[in-house]
Amino acid sequence: MIPEDVRKSEMLIAQKRTLRAKAEDRKNLAYEKMKIGDFTGAKQALMDARQYIQEALKKVRVLGERGLSERTIQDDIETLWRKIILSEKEK
């Protein structure tokens, strides 16, 4: 690879990791908020997490990777969203 391509690739990988970590943190925050009954706050945290993971998936596409970790986090976010909706309906 050309050194410039390597540098760009490393930069994208670092950005992807950061976005994935932010999405994971927001997902965990949403879970905690859901447990205490703050459904609005949980939804907002999940929307933020969703945004971060979408940005990470864009980086995955640019890098030509499969993005299994990112897709797992995305699935977790969607599952938690459905749980929040169900919990809201029960109350």
pLDDT at 3 over 90: no
pLDDT score of 2? 82
Instruction: Please give the average per-residue pLDDT across 55-81, as a whole number.
Output: 96
The better pLDDT of the pair 91, 34 is held by 34
Query: What's the sign of the alpha-carbon dihedral 41, 47, 51, 57?
Result: positive
pLDDT band at 1 (very low <50, low <70, confident <90, very high): low
Instruction: Please give the average per-residue pLDDT across 71-84, as a whole number.
Output: 96
Q: What is the pLDDT of residues 12-49, one digit of tens each?
A: 999 999 999 999 999 999 999 999 999 999 999 999 99
Are residues 12 and 63 in contact, defined by beta-carbon separation less than 8 angstroms?
A: yes
Are residues 84 and 46 in contact, defined by beta-carbon separation less than 8 angstroms?
A: yes
pLDDT at 91 over 80: no
Here the tokens at position 36 are 């205490």
